[in-house]
Structure 1
Amino acid sequence: MNYIIREIKQNEINLLDNFLYEAIFIPNGVQPPPKDIIKQPELQVYISLFGKRIGDYGFVAEVDHEVVGAVWVRIMDDYGHVDDKTPSFAISIYKGYRGYGIGTDLMKRMLELLKKNGYKQTSLAVQKSNYAVKMYKDLGFYTIAENDEEYIMICKL
């Protein structure tokens, strides 16, 4: 599949609403939550006023002039929060575009940018049953904490 990875444009920030919803891992057989779940404060930390704070970075993947995936980071008190100097990842690829390496390429591009900007590490939270755990490990993330449902992972840059 042919795609390009580029910085998110200011007029595309609103797309993060859709990608945040798509980033919610829903195990097989579980009913998806309503779309307005992203209005919950614990999810709004990922997108509220994105691009207005230092350390907000985002990339999108585009196929045939359509944005099909996004990765973004910010320093926030989210599920993957480690400290106030470590940006946390959010990533989402629309279902029909998963499995083509787009997520891996988005992650690599963001890791390169964070390293170039002087960050020492980055973090994320991921459901233990999420197939993306393998991708994160392959990219250098490792578990530093866990609970019944999630791993908290970091990657040294």
Structure 2
Amino acid sequence: MDYRIRTMLEGEDSLLEDFLYEAIYVPDGMSAPPKSIINQPELQIYLTDFGKKKDDIGLVAEVDKKAVGAVWVRIMNDYGHIDNDTPSFAISLDKDYRGLGIGTALMKEMLRILKDRGYKQASLAVQKANYAVKMYQKTGFEIVDENGEEYIMLCRLQ
């Protein structure tokens, strides 16, 4: 499948809202939460004023000029927070474009950018049952902690 990865443009905030909602892991047999869930404070930290801080970086994957995925990082006190020098990842793809290598390409490109900018590591949190755990491990993330339902994963960039 032909796709391209590009830098997220100013004013594409609505894309982040859509992809943040898509990033919510819904186990098989469960109903998806209402879209309004992204308005909760613990999820708004992924969106509020994105692009206004030096550590905010976003990439978009496009197929036929349609955004089908996004990855964005910022230093924030989110589920995957390690410290105030470590960017946390958020990534999501439209359901129809999962399993095609686009997510892996987004992750690898963001990790390259972070390394080029001098970051020493990056983190994320993921539900233990989420199939994406394997993809994160393939891109260099290791499980460094866990709580009841989630793994905290870290990728060392040096």
Is TM-score (shorter-chain normalized) higher than 0.5? Answer: yes
Question: Which residue matches 1:35?
Answer: 35
For 1:69 and 1:30, how far apart are their aligned partners in 2? Answer: 23
Deviation at 1:13, TM superposition (A): 2.2
For 1:98 and 1:8, how far apart are their aligned partners in 2? Answer: 20
TM-score by length of 1: 0.99
Question: Which residue matches 2:125?
Answer: 125
For 1:114 and 1:93, how far apart are their aligned partners in 2? Answer: 21
Range that drifts further, 7-16 or 117-126: 7-16
Is structure 2 residue 137 aligned with structure 1 residue 111? no
For 2:110 and 2:17, how far apart are their aligned partners in 1? Answer: 19
For 1:113 and 1:63, how far apart are their aligned partners in 2? Answer: 22
Which AA in structure 2 matches 1:94? D
Q: What is the alpha-carbon root mean square deviation over aligned residues?
A: 0.5
Percentage of identical aligned residues: 64
For 2:68 and 2:12, how far apart are their aligned partners in 1? Answer: 12
Question: Which residue matches 2:149?
Answer: 149
Deviation at 1:31, TM superposition (A): 1.1
Is structure 2 residue 12 aligned with structure 1 residue 12? yes
Which AA in structure 2 matches 1:17? E
Structure 2, unmatched stretches of 5+, are none
Equivalenced residues, count = 157
Which AA in structure 2 matches 1:57? I
Question: Which residue matches 1:88?
Answer: 88
Consecutive aligned runs of 4 or more in structure 1 exceeding 3 Å deviation: none
Structure 1, unmatched stretches of 5+, are none
Deviation at 1:11, TM superposition (A): 2.4
For 1:148 and 1:9, how far apart are their aligned partners in 2? Answer: 36
Residue correspondence of structure 1 range 20-99 to structure 2 within 5 A: 20-99=20-99
TM-score by length of 2: 0.98
For 2:133 and 2:103, how far apart are their aligned partners in 1? Answer: 12
Which AA in structure 2 matches 1:116? D
For 2:43 and 2:130, how far apart are their aligned partners in 1? Answer: 18
Deviation at 1:54, TM superposition (A): 1.4
Which AA in structure 1 matches 2:49? L
3-state DSSP of counterpart to 2:11 = helix
